[in-house]
Structure 1
């Protein structure tokens, strides 16, 4: 910042040239207008290096490099191009960047395609909306401003003096009207019945004895019939600012157009009332700044409402997800004045269920549609040899985040209960449960008795004992 004139730049992201200007006009005054070498040196020293460099307020309009803030053509004396620039490579380089802290040619300019993204270099003017007492042109300087006063006025803000026509106007008397409309503001003095004597917006001005020389006579005064143009109005979503040299919307009047925040001007930015009673240029329009088209997230929906046109400034889009999915991120996004959407793109993620494990003495086999153990996942269960499944054989992850069915179990297959033989003894060992798969029983007889049959039996996976029980 230097005095009342503040520089700023976009730190968070890069913009196309149009987006950069919209950013500057939204938060400051406009893209910076370089006025002298001192300003270039200041910017090159103050700004940080950025590999894509910075946009400034010059653009090619009707094949002429123009300061967009003032609509003035770039003069040869003011040019600051880098070597062999502008080169208009590929015939689409209509905007200008400034090299900041570049090793070669720092502070110089280069033409670039307007669609490239760079930092926006903005300024906030120290000139006020009605500067220099409306009697001169306000000229920005670093940390200050100066007024170039029109003839007859002086002072820091042109507050002193009178215009060159004021003393004459006081001495004028009624005479023959002259038509205002030459490049100097005066035409010939018309004769009686001359078509130039139509009277629109008559005002007293001194008559020029020789309009080709632009000389004013302080001896003779005549009323001037000023050529009028149709009254202009601001475009929708825009503003109109007019300056009138002779009368409202008359010859010499100029009107400049601008747009509300979030809108960009298409067409002529400035129009002038000509000697024919017509305005130069075509009526401009303010069109809403466009944002990229949004689409619904995978497995989700997008519902958008548009204030002006599809996916433009003021458009809002809300997002939701299919059954079984939950939204992560921004639920609603709005198209901003910079041509970007607020927030980050949302996603629809499948609802998670608790991780499943195989039952004891069993197996689990799962398939996942979206992600592990999430909505749509299915798991089937089975048991080891010698065990049988009780409960749900297959379970599915539902939209509520719960599994269908109940957890299954694998239970050991049972064999018939055995008893000790008469006049004998039995000793059993059980791995999983009494008289179940892999249980073993050993047999013996009391003294004086002989065992007839197997010494030991094992419970098989079929639910039968390996041999017939022995007798004593």
Structure 2
């Protein structure tokens, strides 16, 4: 490791200032191979024994001190040139070319023209990779000047230990290194040796304005921000936001709030106005109440209020004379009125009368009162009434009324319900004397012929409106051992006839039985073939099993005991299709029974493992074991060189319906299909693609060359050499497409069509 040495000057003392105190002194310590001199807060150091390339020199300085020297003024250069010993390779300082700009590496700030200290014809007189800077110390010519050098050259490291620390200047200014000390350049709004003081603005105390302030550095100090807002109904005059500036002044004058004004109101005709004001006459919050003189009514709102928008609530009211509802002439009557203050207003009087044949119902006269209502109830003329009529029993009443229910000239028609006949007048009318014409009619039920019981049977009747009349119902029944032939009941209809035909009683029989398929029947009869008491025995042929009772008997209800038996063939276990396969069966005597034959097959992409056909034997077992369907396999795929392979397998690795996706690394182009899948033939849909180095940059260069006007005049401007090169490159790509997809042509799909290939160039 290199050694570090401070500036050693024979009999010379460094003078460095720190915090306003001028400090003089020298301290020399021998520590192995390291010698250093320290005075004040800022010190210089250099590598006494070792020479380093620029990066090594900077690492050395950052390891033992702060960084390579950052020179700030000509006095500092003179001091260094005077104090440092001569070295034939000179010293590295903290300047380097970064992204084409000479930069102080410690602060990452660009070198300004004012701070440049280059030697004559420098920098970059050799114009090649001279990105680091040395300082000529005690050089015979241009001593203290700078020169750019190759960063790999070996030189002394000229270091410094900084006096500026991260938290100096109160973090409110920039710490500037000086020889032996530092100074604070305060940011706007701050002052003091350490920028510890903040500029103060006058305290704001607005009246009638809501203020919300934020103080990052103290109440009403630099960068304090105050936002102003007026209450609802007030209007702000001045800026919304004020900020304390570095000049100790606010950015604007304090705003004020004034109440919003509404238009001046006046009292309505024949009325009065009474207002109260909070913030000034007819301004926001003012309320005005309206009233009218006796005999007049206020039309509109009783009060209005000045809103925050400068408008009054509601519309302007006015006073009108009190009115009563307009009276109308009663039907079949007359109206005679006298008015004092206007039609149908207070003091108006109206008299009522009726035409001949009608009677007045209500007061003979009414008067409009001060409250806008009429005395008494509404008068009307009512027609003379007859007694109310009602419909006859089992009948209906339909009336038409001219002047009211059952009044003069009302007409009522009579009718009977279905099954009844009207006895009396069909209609009656109310006369002027209040009586009805004619007598009251009535309805009588229609009669049917008398019924009698059948032989060996009985008759039971119910009568609603009289014996064997409309609505009568008669039920028929037979003695034990007989069954009723015909309707069980008959009803007398509205036409005077009975529903249905005459019933009769017949001996009970059971349904005729027959032998089951593949079976036999043997019966004995007591009262006739298949009648009550008959017994039948059942049996099955060899190879079939009887399902149901062995015997059945005809009961008194005409039904056989038990259910009908049947002969069922011996059954085998039910078969099901294998996974990815199909089952096709033929059955002679029932599903999966003796004699059934089942054939197995597999879906596309699968092969059958086992017997194709099975048969159900007489013992109820199948020939052979249940087969299986296995997916057809395709050859195993490998990822292409400089590419990747991603596969999904539905039925097993690299089997039917497996899909594989190919991709290429950056800078390589996939030549062939992006996706392959395993077909039912055991083959992949395409050849596996390959990854080839992308040649697109060449084509982009040709296209760039032919852009603009040259593209529009392609046939004229393009030189023969460019056309030949492009044709050759495209020819080579066509050859590669043919190698990758020998079966494809311009019109049929292959691994790549021309369009798909060109899209991937």
Query: TM-score category by the smaller chain?
Result: 0.3 to 0.5
TM-score, length-scaled by structure 1: 0.37
TM-score, length-scaled by structure 2: 0.23
Higher relative contact order (CA 8 A, sep 6+): 1
